[in-house]
Every structure is written in C-alpha cells, then in structure tokens.
Chains A and B, each alone.
Chain A
C-alpha cells in the first residue's frame, strides 16, 4: 500500500472507534430522552379540575377556595351538556345503545353525570385528570371508530367518523360543537407540579395517585439486601486478602465467587423461591402462630435473594480496595505492636473504606434495578406502603416489577403511560444517582492515592 493510503487507513481506523463510541452515546440518548421527557411529564403536566378533585377527595390536599371557584365554573360550563342529554332522553327514551356509548365516552371525559349515583370503582368516579388524556377523551366523544372494509384486498382500516352524524336532527346535535368549543371551561386545565406522584399511595391500581408504595418497597429491598450482603462481603474480602493460604480450596472459592457473579438473575429468583420460601420458609418465624400463610413472598425473602446476587460484587470491590491499601500502613501499625485484627480494623479498613463504599453503592444500584429475582420472592402488583416491621412477613410492590406489570398486564395500560414513564424515570434516576455517587467516590479515592 502507498504511504498515503496507509495514513488514510490509519485515520479511518481511529474514525471507526470514535464512530462506534458515538453510536453508543447516540443509543443512550435515544434510550433516555423519551424516558426523561415523558417521565418528567408524570410530575409536571397540565392538570384538569378532575385532578384537583382526586386530590381533594382522596388525599385531602389542595386549595379549597381555588378549587371551589374552578369547580363552579366547570359545573356551569358542563350544565348545557347534561341539559341536552336530558332533552334527548325525554324525546327518545333512555334505552338507546348509541346514547349509552355517548354517556360512557362523556364519563371518561367529565366524570359521572351529576344525577348519577357514585360508581364503586375510583377510576369511574373521575373524568380525565390530565389535559392530554382529556383531549383524547374528547376525541372519543366527538368521533366513533369504524372499520372500513371497502377494499377487499386489504385488511380493514380504522376510520374516525363524527359521532354527530348519528344524532343528526336530535337535541344532541349541538352537543358536539359545544364540547369541542368549551372543553377548556369544562375541565379548567392548568399547569401543575404534582410532587405527590412520588409520595402518594396509588388509587385504584395506579389510575390515580402516586407510586410511594413502589418506591418504599424498592428501598426496603435494596437496604435489606445490602444489610445482609455487606458484612459477609467485607469479611470474605478480608479473609481472601489477609488470611487465605495458597491452597487449591481457595482457588475453588474464587471460582465459586465468579460463578455466582455469572448466574442469570432469573435463576436467583427460582432459587429464592425454592430455598428461602419453600424450604427455609424464612418469614414463617416472624408470623403470628395462628396465621395460615405458611410459605409466601416477603421482603425478607426478596432481600436475601438479592443479597446473594450482589455478594460477589461487594466481595470483589472490597478485595480490590483492601489490596490497594499501601503495605506500609500495615507495617507501621504492626511495628508499634498492633495485633493483626487491630491492624485490619483500625488501619486497613478505614483506608479501604472509600473503595468499599463505591462497591456497596454500585451494588445497591444493581439490587434496586433487578426485577427477575424478586418476581417469585417479594413483588406483588398492588399493595400499600409497609411499616418497617412488616418487611419480615409482607410482600411489597416494587418499582421494577410494577413497571413490567403496568405496561404488560394492567387492564388500562395505555391510559396510564404517564405512570409507567414516571416509574421508569424514578428507577433510572435512583440507580444513576447511586452510580454517580460511586463515580465521584472513586475519583476521590484515585486522587488521594495519587497525591
């Protein structure tokens, strides 16, 4: 090859590397942008009067006088709608399928009609709480989806047909232009910052309210896992660095640690089910004698399972940190007559602490984000925030599991996308905060070791 070509190949080789890094960064941006943007939308959004009503009725929050004023305007704006309905019913009777459909669509938008009795399910008690939802609901009031089979070579195509057509010539004909023009007055949209999303209980399986139960459950599981894994991990690391003889058994032990690090997380879940719940029945010891729950999920079982999962991470981090402590510290301590244990406790561990903390923080991130190990051991779909003492016997909702559950198994998965995004963002922020803390800690350690 000519020298020129060699140079170009050299440059493009560099370019290839940079290109791949750019692609990876791009992928990260593509991944995180929608999660961040729409996740923030769970907390900052245009709320309607219905959102305020949920807060007033179920969480006893909000400014009563502002609410009363807004509510009065909204009721006044809604009155004509119900008048038209009554007029229509007087003329055509109530037993009308199309009327039924319209009423249902209106209920999704505005909540139950004033003359209606209070529905049992919370999701039917309120209209659209978010302006984006309200616009969709309004669209469903104004249009009906029909299937167009006119082209026999193709599958049916959905087409939106104005609902007004069905009611042409009736008192309801003017309802549709009224709804589309007075949507603002009927729902009173306003920007709001809903901190309660993080701190409120969920209402009717996340149709309204917040995700506090999930956040708390994740915290319990994470802290529990760390409580079990950290002492064992640090002691194991001390043994491996300071005591372990050159013996084939120690080689086997090291292989076991790396095997444990490679076990798929779902297998941990099965193991937790087979061992902690079915065999050891860890929660049985803390239950009242007369309780029937012999083997059930609990935070305790989940924490233990997660603890085994993060144990190798902690052992490796602690081992590395203890190995990095300069030998001279140890010599100095021994030379003034400190015993081995005293040297480890007073000199080696304090010096290794930042490195160990880095490992702990990273493993917390790992434990908080894992889903598969808690499916069979600790997670439930719906639940209330638990007290600390309940963690020994009770299962809990947790962020990662609820994300899965809400977007695949919830009956109204499409309507509560904002909750799903909010949960994902909360989880990602939690984990990334922990990892950022670890990166900062590590930078400080390396600076100290350098200077």
Chain B
C-alpha cells in the first residue's frame, strides 16, 4: 500500500482462517489500519493511495479492475474506531444496508433489523425506541449499533478497526463479549493496540511494525513464546 510515494505497508503475506478471530497488533502508525482498510478497499477514498500485490478473498483478488466494489463491501463489513451511526433513527441505521441492497418490504426489514440487533446484543436495550435518533445512545450502544448495521447486510468477514478505543471499560467489555459470541459465525479481523484485548478475544495474532508483518501465530503462542526479538520487546512493553 502506498500513500503518494511512501509505502505505508509492504511485504505482508497473511492468511486469515475462516470463522476465526484474527487480531493485528502493533504500535501506532505501523500500518495496521491501512492494511485493514485495504481489505474492503476503503483506502480508495484517500487521494493518492494505491496498492500493488494481491489480496485474495475466497480466492478472488479484490484489486482486480473488474471487481464490484459495492459487492465486495457487502461481503466485508467494517466497524470503525469511533462509533459512527448516521444521524437517523435506530431502525433506519440498521435498515440502511438492506435497503441499499434492495430489501423493500417493511416486514422483511423489521425482521432483519431485529435479528441484527439481537446478534449485536443491543435488541433488549433499544427495542422500545427504534424511532429515536441513534445519536442519543451511549457510546458503547452506538458502537454495538454500528456492529448491527454491519451485520445487517450479512457479511462473511467483519473488519474492526480499534472498535473499543473510544469507549469506557464497561462498554469495552460488552464489545469484547460480543466478539466472542460472533466468533465461529463470522470471520473477524480486529485491529487493536491493546495487547490484553488481543490476547482475550483472538485466535490468531499478527504483529506489525513500521509497515511490515513481523510475526503471526496462535494468540497463546505469540504472547507466551514470541519468535522475533521485536515482538518480544513490544509485548513486554519495551516500546510502543
């Protein structure tokens, strides 16, 4: 991945197993988010950003010119660092994706919304105020709403870009539990600079440093017996 002439991420080869939670850790500015956003081509929005190499989703290179980006993004959901609900009602937030993809009937939409909110463990808290503005929810609720919104288009892969960094510990706990529940159903890639979080929620962990993938392995293995010296230094807190 390049921004202008400078390479932000290079020489990354990483396999993400289906149904597992993969965490990407590393110090700030190491290219974690860039890598994550490359997967559903959100980097296309940034002027002067280009990619070389191949990025395969189910065997298909997402950077081929014939790729339908909207279809790609439907199959690859994303949750952002800061909760970003639309300034609309809770219902409309979740129904936004399905509506775009052609669901018109009211009852179908209601079913999808309820199901998504249940999966995001938010249904019981908001079921009586579906018509209220989503910006009235608390930060943690907003983030779960964003997860529900991503789930409503039934993606296979869910990208989470530091989903708890803007939340308080209680809300973080909620989200982490939710990730644990979603494991197995969805393939999840989560970027975090909180190593404890990576250790708690992920099956696989990848460590990145200055745009390069240093080490990848089983979460328990990586945190207890890192192979690379820099990984060792990072997880023991020498830098970062």
Contact = CB atoms under 8 A, between A and B. Distances in A.
Contact of B82 (A328, A336, A347): A328
Contact of B77 (A246, A328, A335, A338): A335
B40 A335 contact: yes
Contacts of A293: none
Q: Which of A328, A332, A336, A351 has the most C-beta atoms of chain B within 10 angstroms of its own C-beta?
A: A336
Contact of B84 (A246, A328, A337, A339): A328
Main secondary structure of the interface of A (DSSP, over half): helix
A92 B71 CA distance: 105
A448 B133 CA distance: 12
A131 B86 CA distance: 62
Given A246-B47, A331-B84, A347-B86, A337 B42 contact: no
Interface in B42-94: 42, 45, 47, 70-74, 77-78, 80, 82, 84-88
B87 A351 contact: yes
Interface residues of A, number: 20
Contacts of B101: 337
Interface stretch (B16-24, B147-155, B167-175, B201-209): B147-155
Interface in B5-25: none
A346 interface: yes
Contacts of B85: 332
A334 B100 CA distance: 11
B100 A336 contact: yes
Nearest to A335: B78
A239 interface: no
A413 interface: no
A329 B153 contact: no
Contacts of B77: 335-336
Given A342-B100, A346-B96, A335 B87 contact: no
A333 B96 contact: yes
Nearest to A343: B100
Instruction: State which size class the interface on B falls in.
Output: 20 to 34
A337 B73 CA distance: 5
Contacts of B149: 332, 336
B146 interface: yes
Interface string A316-343: 0000000000101111111111110010
B97 interface: yes
B233 to A, nearest CB: 33
Given A337-B101, A342-B100, A331 B42 contact: yes
B86 A336 contact: no
Given A331-B42, A332-B149, A347-B86, A337 B97 contact: yes
A347 B77 CA distance: 18
Contacts of B97: 336-338
A333 B87 CA distance: 12
Contacts of B146: 332
A332 B148 CA distance: 12
B153 A337 contact: yes
B80 A334 contact: no
B74 A326 contact: no
A338 B88 CA distance: 16
Interface in A331-371: 331-339, 342, 346-347, 350-351
Nearest to B85: A332
Interface in A232-274: 246
A240 to B, nearest CB: 14
A339 B70 contact: yes
Nearest to B94: A336
Contact of B153 (A330, A336, A339): A336
A174 to B, nearest CB: 81
A450 to B, nearest CB: 12
25 contacts: A246-B47, A326-B84, A328-B82, A328-B84, A329-B84, A329-B86, A329-B87, A330-B45, A332-B80, A332-B86, A333-B96, A334-B45, A334-B73, A335-B40, A335-B77, A336-B73, A336-B77, A336-B96, A336-B97, A337-B71, A337-B73, A338-B97, A346-B96, A350-B88, A351-B86
- 3 closest residue pairs by CB, A with B: A328-B84, A337-B74, A336-B97
